[in-house]
């Protein structure tokens, strides 16, 4: 109970409405889809009006297509608008600033993105805390309660490791969690991770699907036992059936997949029925569209996001670059949300070092969060000791950044030789997809 109070207080220091919002969301999950849709459309009207009146890019966009705000009132009306991309946002950065941005409380964020195109963006404070409340409700499908002890196996910044800084430590204490790095996963590190889990005894684990799968395989191969959690939440990349099976068997608990994008605001969470991921409606609108941008109600298509509360930088029909499979079935749990049966295109390769470490591909994503002047990038592991980084720079890129990147990579593995290739464009796959990490190493642990 004390953990819950400390956890809630830590969030309400940032936003006093956090706990009432969380309680409202708990009740909201049992509404019908028709009720959810009506609430979405009510807020859609607000964000469309705001964007039209305050964001130059959207005012021009509406004018180009002969539209007024009153033409977009329903979810179906969104089809009248074109889909925007990260490239469009980067090319029109100033035009995405609301004219009264100085009156909006917001934070800045960045994503290297699995599309390989870095993007800086703004997130209004209310939207950020709403995102947290929705996240905790989604974990609640798997039994999580505010303040429950949790261990993360992922990478939230470049300095994630076994010895967190003072700020990170305070964050861990207030939220009753510990963070373990997926950037260093050698024998020594994973043995220490097992020790931490057995000492901390978390109720839940959360992490990248590939990192948890790699860790589970290591535990099994080395006959190392850990205290079984009540559940595990996978995130940030595709959870393959073989991964789910391995993680569930080794940790002896259920695995719940999750999906979310902070920039677009879309989220979806799996419940114990395991019939799909419940698509949240309170913060955003998720469309699944075909190649022409038309909405589909069943089948596979591109996931498009519209944020409903991010007044600092509205995302309207934003291309997530992810593909998803939408089903028209309803879940037996009784929640009224539509179901995302499967998310495709979010898998990130694990890279291997000559020292025998497993380095999650997101390590490079975080590097490019900090690097300016790069339009696109791709990291290719050609061999155990050779990494090739392809860069498409813009005019603001400085040559000294190459050495900065090389030094950061060297700190992860001195055995890697890093080669840079400055190119005009980066090839897509035959299906038109982009992979920002490519590994030519045959590693059965990541299969």
| Residue labelled with tokens 């180009």 | 64
> Which CATH number fits the domain that encloses residue 359?
3.30.300.30
**Confidence check: pLDDT of 163 > 50:** no
Q: Are residues 340 and 362 in the same domain?
A: no
Separation of alpha carbons 291 and 184, rounded Å: 39
Number of domains the chain contains: 2
Q: Which residues contact 337 (CB under 8 A, 6 or more apart)?
A: 29, 33, 36, 278, 279, 280, 281, 331
Q: Are residues 278 and 372 in the same domain?
A: no
Q: What is the mean pLDDT of the chain?
A: 89
> Which CATH number fits the domain that encloses residue 235?
3.40.50.12780
Separation of alpha carbons 324 and 259, rounded Å: 10
**pLDDT tens string 258-282:** 999 888 999 999 999 999 999 999 9
- The token duo for 265 is 């605001």
Burial 411-432 (b: 16+ CB within 10 A, else e): ebbeebebebeeeeebeeeeee
Q: Are residues 143 and 235 in the same domain?
A: yes
Separation of alpha carbons 23 and 19, rounded Å: 6
Segment among 245-249, 292-296, 355-359, 388-392 with least mean pLDDT: 355-359
**pLDDT tens string 176-232:** 889 998 877 888 999 999 999 999 999 999 998 888 988 998 999 899 999 999 999
Separation of alpha carbons 225 and 66, rounded Å: 63
SS3 state of residue 345: coil
**Confidence check: pLDDT of 348 > 70:** no
The residue range of the domain holding 252 is 1-345
Residue 447 maps to a domain: no
Q: Are residues 199 and 311 in the same domain?
A: yes
Q: Are residues 224 and 155 in the same domain?
A: yes
Residue 446 maps to a domain: no
Q: Are residues 359 and 336 in the same domain?
A: no
Q: Are residues 332 and 360 in the same domain?
A: no
Q: Are residues 153 and 280 in the same domain?
A: yes
Q: Are residues 323 and 403 in the same domain?
A: no
Backbone torsions φ then ψ of 161, nearest 5 degrees: -175, -165
Q: Is 76 buried (19+), middle (13-18) or exposed (0-12) by CB count in 10 A?
A: exposed
Q: Is 155 buried (19+), middle (13-18) or exposed (0-12) by CB count in 10 A?
A: buried
Q: Are residues 288 and 432 in the same domain?
A: no
Q: Which of 345, 365, 386 is the last residue of a domain?
A: 345
Beta bridge partners of 439: 381
Q: Which of 326, 345, 364 is the last residue of a domain?
A: 345
Q: Which of 301, 316, 345 is the last residue of a domain?
A: 345
Show the 3-state SS of 74-120: CCHHHHHCCCECHHHHHHCHHHHCCCCHHHCCEEEEEECCCCCCCEE
Residue 88 maps to a domain: yes
Q: Is 0.85 surpassed by the pTM of this model?
A: no
Residue 434 maps to a domain: yes
**pLDDT tens string 231-247:** 999 988 788 888 899 99
């Amino acid at each position: 109970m004390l953990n819950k109070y400390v956890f809630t207080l830590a969030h309400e220091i940032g936003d006093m409405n956090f706990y009432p919002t969380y309680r409202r969301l708990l009740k909201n999950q049992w509404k019908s889809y028709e009720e959810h849709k009506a609430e979405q459309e009510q807020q859609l009207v607000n964000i469309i009006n705001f964007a039209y009146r305050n964001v130059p890019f959207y005012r021009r966009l509406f004018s180009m297509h002969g539209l007024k705000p009153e033409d977009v009132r329903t979810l179906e009306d969104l089809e009248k608008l074109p889909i925007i991309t990260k490239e469009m946002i980067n090319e029109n950065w100033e035009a995405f600033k609301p004219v009264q941005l100085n009156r909006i409380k917001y934070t800045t964020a960045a994503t290297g993105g699995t599309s390989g195109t870095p993007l800086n963006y703004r997130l209004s404070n209310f939207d950020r805390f709403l995102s947290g409340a929705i996240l905790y409700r989604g974990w609640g499908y798997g039994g999580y309660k505010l303040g429950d002890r949790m261990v993360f196996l992922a990478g939230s910044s470049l300095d994630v490791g076994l010895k967190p800084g003072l700020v990170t430590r305070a964050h861990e204490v207030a939220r009753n969690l510990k963070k373990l790095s997926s950037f260093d996963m050698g024998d020594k590190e994973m043995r220490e991770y097992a020790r931490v889990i057995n000492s901390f005894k978390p109720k839940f684990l959360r992490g990248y699907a590939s990192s948890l799968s790699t860790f589970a395989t290591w535990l099994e191969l080395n006959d190392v036992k850990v205290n079984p959690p009540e559940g595990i939440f996978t995130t940030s990349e595709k959870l393959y059936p073989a991964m789910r099976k391995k993680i569930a068997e080794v940790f002896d608990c259920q695995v719940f997949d999750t999906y979310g994008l902070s920039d677009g605001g879309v989220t979806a969470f799996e419940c114990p029925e395991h019939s799909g991921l419940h698509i949240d409606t309170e913060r955003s609108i998720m469309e699944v569209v075909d190649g022409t941008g038309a909405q589909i109600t069943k089948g596979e298509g591109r996931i498009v996001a519209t944020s409903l509360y991010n007044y600092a930088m509205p995302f309207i029909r934003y291309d997530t670059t992810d593909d998803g499979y939408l089903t028209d079935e309803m879940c037996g749990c009784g929640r009224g949300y539509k179901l995302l049966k499967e998310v495709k295109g979010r898998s990130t390769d694990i890279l291997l070092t000559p020292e025998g470490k497993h380095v999650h591909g997101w390590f490079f994503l975080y590097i490019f969060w900090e690097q300016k002047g790069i339009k696109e990038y791709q990291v290719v592991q050609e061999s155990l000791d050779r990494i090739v980084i392809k860069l498409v720079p813009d005019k603001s890129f400085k040559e000294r950044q190459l050495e900065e990147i090389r030094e950061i990579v060297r700190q992860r593995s001195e055995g890697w030789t890093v080669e840079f290739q400055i190119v005009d464009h980066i090839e897509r796959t035959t299906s038109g997809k982009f992979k920002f990490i490519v590994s030519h190493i045959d590693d059965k642990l990541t299969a």
